[in-house]
Structures are given as structure tokens and as C-alpha cells.
Amino acid sequence: MKLTDTTIEIRPRSAWESIDLGILLARRHGLLLITSWAIVTLPIFCLLTVIFWQAPVITIDTWEIPILPIIVFWWLKPIFDRIPLYILSNAVFGQVPTLSETLKFWLKSLKNNTLADLTIRRFKLARSFELPVSQLEMFRGKARKQRLRNLHLGNNRAGLLTLLFINIEGILITTLLTLVYMLTSSTPSILPTQDYTAETILMDQLPFWQIHAYFFFYTLVLLITEPLYVSCGFCLYLNRRIGMDAWDIELSFKRLSHRLAQTLSILLLSGCLVLFIGYPSHLQAEPLNKQHATDTQLQRETDKQQIEQILKSPPFYEQEEQTRLRWINDPTSPPKPSTTESSSFNGLAWLSLDFFKIVIWAFVIFVVLLVVWLFVKHLSITKKYQKVVTPPEKLFGLAITPESLPTNIVEEFERLWQQGQTRQALSLLYRGLLSHLVHQYQIPLKSSHTEGEIVSLTKQTQISAVTEFTQNLTNQWLLMAYGHYPIQPEQKQVLITGWQTLMQFNDKEATHEKTL
């Protein structure tokens, strides 16, 4: 599942806007939805009709109605709803399945939660909203209950959606049957000349085959309404997931990262082009034909030979070499030959050597002075920061001053826990932790810091007990405050033990400072 491949706009919507999106989504894939639904449901209805053609029946006045086929077909609707759910869940992420893939998936899905969907979950009003949890996320047992509890926290209108489509189905089937009766009745006028009841309109002296034909109209109505119903429930589910998992924010960050990557590649390409454009034009190769290249090569060889001949002829070429032995300090030996050119060269060499020494020493002195200046500046900024910054009184709306906390936090935590106020108890423990981080360890916490950033800042203390307890308590606080997950009893004891360990470490550190 890739959010970048979605065919719908990922953003939070209202419940009714999500239902409208579901109708539009079903219209977009209407042909595949209706075809797959018809291929599965119509043969099953025909089979049920053949099996239960005459029995059992119910009697209304004097008419016997074989109602079992339509009742069984209606009862099986939850397993039929998996067909449009599979199509829409793939189509939303840009992968529309084929008809054969849909039928294969439906046959495999019969092994998953079929008994529960046809028994304990059959009369749930939020059936279409909860269907993706068991069929797409494959949650079961406690995990499924917890997932549904979180999904139902929002005002999703799933129950109203079911009631709405029940009324729509009733209106459509009544309208269709009335239309058929008006077209086939012997009464020529639209307004009947006698009083008709529901039984006389639908079942007045009809044989079984005609009654089953009328029931068949109900399956035709479901060809339209049921894919719409599943699509609307699925879009309500998607809207809730967008709000819970922040899909829109994640997608925005991915798009921003993609744009930055494109911009960086364009800048690198532009920089390379600028570098290549800066070269002289004579370095660029010019297209030469073969004959011209051969002539040029011959001319170069001829010129080279002529130059060598000129340099070997006088007055350019003159070489004299003398070799003899002499004493180093022999006064009778001829003086060492020296010319103005050689003296000038030696002077320039000496000057260049001293110049490079001066440059190197100047660079070293500059680096040392720069390091000293930066160190002094850092110390002054640190002292200034420590003087100006004062510990905050509140973080995340929680008072963290020592005066706002009880003397014995553990006893107050236990009291609140026994009273069933687990959220207040965990809030007290988290406030105590923040207060100790700010006042005891002098960590510069700000209201703009997130819980994760606070955990990272505790690593500055280089104390594993502080970091581990902060990590554990922060995780429990996030689960309780934002996920509404209850704290387990064993986790409660872990938190109390961690807090007591932290306090004992603080007492030892304070005793050590007094001794020093």
C-alpha cells in the first residue's frame, strides 16, 4: 500500500462528504462491481430458489408464500459484501483487479471470519464500516476489538448509513414491484378502482413461480444498492484511518521530499553544465574529415624534424664538459664559475623559500587564534544563556513546578490508581518526571518540544536509568493520552519501580555533592 499511488485525494473529510466520495468511487468502477456481484449472487439465488421452491412457506390470510430463499439470500449478504470491498480497496491505490482475480479472492475469503459475520456480527449497524478491519487488516480477537474501539471514537455515521440504505432498498423494491403490478394488472387505470393492500398488490392469486420472480427483483435492486453501501462504508473507514494515522501529513512530507530531490538533481545538473561551459573553446573537439586529419599529422611530423635539426646546429647547440679532480680548499684551483643569472636564481630561490615559511606560520597562528576566539565566545554565550533561560512552569499544559507536585508522588499515584483515575495518575507521574528533568538535571525543555525530542534530550545526562525510565513513561503516556489504551497492572508496577530507582539515584548524587 503506497499513499502516493492513491486515486483519491488524501485529506480529512466530514462523514457525509466521505459517503459522497463512496458514491463517486462506486460510480467510477460500477461496471466491474455490478458484474462481479451478479456473477456470484444471481446463481446462488437461483440455486436457493430451486432447493426451497415450495417449502417452507408462511401463510398470509389464505396465500402461501415460499419465503425461505429470499431470507437465506438476505442472510448471506455479509459474505457477498467482500466482493465490492476487494475491488474498491485495490482501486483506491491504483490497482484495479480483474474479474477473475476478484472471484478467486472471494472464494479464499470464505475461510476468514465467515461464521462470525453470519452470526454475532450479522445485525451490526456499522457492518460496512467494520468489514475492512476483519477482511483487509485481518485483525481478530482482542486486537480487532481494540481497533474497532479506536475507529468508533470519531463521529463516523456508519449506523445511520445502514439505516439509510435499508430505507432506500425498501423504497426501490416497493416501487419496482408496484410498477410491475401496474404493467401486468388487468386494471387499465393507474389509480385502482378498489382498495388494495400489500398482500393483494404483491401476492394476489399468484403462483409460486411468479412469487419467486418478484423475489428476484430484490436481487436486482441489490445489484445497485449493495456496492454503493459497501463503498460508502469503506470510505468512512478510510476517512477515519486518515485522521488516526495522519496519512495526509505523511503524504505531504513524501511529496515535499520528492520535490526537493528533483530540485537537487536539477541544481547538480546545472552546476555540471556551468563547469563544462567555462572551459576554453579551443579545448573542444572539432569534427575533422579523414583526409584533413592525415595531412595535419604529416605536417606536424615535418615541423618536428625541422625544429630538431635547427636546435642541433650552431649557435643553438653548444655543449662543453670538463671533468677533473681538485682539493676542496685548493687556492690554486680556478674559481667556481658564477654568472649573474645563477646568482639571481639563488636569490629568488631563497626568497621563495622564506615566503612559503612565512605563509605557513601565519596560517597556523590564524587557526590557533580562531579556535581560541570561538572557545571564548562559546563560553560567554553559554553563561549568558544560563542566566537568561528560566525553567518553564508548564509543558504540554501540565504544571511542572515543584510547588504544584505532592510531596510523595508514589503515594498519590497509588491513591489515584485505586480510585480508577488512571489518566490522572499517569499525568502526575509524567509531570514529576518533567519537573525533575528541568530542575534536577537542568535540561532546557521548551513547550515546542515533542515527547520524542524530550526522550532524546535526556541522553545528555548520560545516565541510563533516566533515559530508560523517560522512554518507558513517555510510551505509556502517549498510549493513554492519544491512543486511549489502558495501562496494564504489570506495567504500573514497572513505572513505580522505575520512579523509585530514579529517586534513589538522585539522593545518592545529592549526598555525593555534599561530601565533595
Report the sign of the C-alpha dihedral through residues 135, 140, 146, 148, in that order. positive
Is residue 485 predicted with pLDDT exceeding 90? no
Give the total residue count for the chain: 516
User: 260-272: per-residue pLDDT in tens?
Assistant: 666 666 767 666 6
**Does 174 have pLDDT greater than 60?**
yes
Sorting pLDDT into bands at 50, 70 and 90, what band is 207? Answer: low
CA gap 139, 372 in Å, rounded: 62
pLDDT surpasses 90 at 143: no
pLDDT at position 232: 94
Packing angle, helices 464-481 and 489-515, rounded to 10:
140
- In the structure, what pLDDT confidence band is assigned to residue 387 with cuts at 50, 70 and 90? very low
Q: What is the pLDDT of residue 325?
A: 63
- Mean pLDDT, rounded, for 399-410: 82
Q: Which of 49, 38, 41 is nearest to 213 (CA)?
A: 49
Give me the phi and psi of 224, to 5 degrees please: -95, -50
Q: What is the pLDDT of residues 65-108, one digit of tens each?
A: 677 888 889 899 999 999 999 999 998 888 889 999 999 999 98
**Backbone torsions φ then ψ of 60, nearest 5 degrees:** -120, 115
Q: What integer is the mean pLDDT of 238-247?
A: 81
12-37 in b/e burial notation, b at 16+ Cβ within 10 A? ebebeebbebbeebbebbeebbbebb
Distance, in Å, from the CA atom of 179 to the CA atom of 475, rounded to the nearest integer, reads 63
Percent of the chain having pLDDT more than 90? 14
Please provide residue 133's backbone torsions phi and psi, each rounded to the nearest 5 degrees.
Answer: -65, -40
Q: How confident is the model at residue 34 (pLDDT cuts 50, 70, 90)?
A: very high
The residue type of 290 is K
pLDDT of residue 113: 84
CA atoms within 13 A on the CB side of 237: 24
Q: How far is CA 211 from CA 50, 208, 307, 405, 410, in A?
A: 13, 5, 117, 76, 73
Residues 103 and 14: beta-carbon distance below 8 Å: no
Task: Specify burial of residue 131 (Cβ count, 10 A radius: 0-12, 13-18, 19+).
Answer: buried
pLDDT of 460 above 60: yes
Q: What rounded mean pLDDT belongs to the chain?
A: 75
Q: What is the mean pLDDT of residues 415-443?
A: 83
User: Which pLDDT does position 506 carry in this prediction?
Assistant: 67
pLDDT at 199: 44
Residues 232, 226: Cα–Cα separation, whole Å: 10
3-state secondary structure of 59: strand
Tell me the chain's radius of gyration from C-alpha atoms. Answer: 44
Residue type for position 389: V
pLDDT at 473: 83
Contact 53, 66 (CB under 8 A): yes
Per-residue pLDDT averaged across 228-246, rounded? 88
**pLDDT at res. 388:** 47
| pLDDT per residue as tens digits for the range 321-372 | 566 666 666 556 555 554 444 444 454 444 455 666 777 788 888 888 888 8
Taking residue 46's Cβ as centre, other Cβ atoms within 10 Å add up to 14
Supply 94's cell numbers: 491504483
Q: Taking residues 247-257, what's their average pLDDT?
A: 66
Q: Which residues contact 311 (CB under 8 A, 6 or more apart)?
A: 317
Q: Are 445 and 395 in contact (CB under 8 A)?
A: yes
Give the pLDDT confidence score for residue 93 in this predicted structure: 84
Peptide bond into 315 cis (omega under 30): yes
| Cβ–Cβ < 8 Å for 407, 441 | no
pLDDT at 402 over 50: yes
Q: What angle do CA 231, 232, 236 make, to 5 degrees?
A: 115
The yes-or-no verdict on residue 510 having pLDDT over 60 is no
- Residue 462 gets the label, from left (phi > 0), alpha (psi -120 to 50) or beta, of left
> Mean of the pLDDT values across residues 145-162?
83
Query: Could you tell me if 90 and 99 are in contact, meaning their C-beta atoms sit under 8 angstroms apart?
Result: no
- What pLDDT is recorded for position 380? 62
E strand or H helix at 379: helix 340-388
pLDDT score recorded for residue 409 = 84
Closest CA to 423 of 466, 347, 497, 476: 476
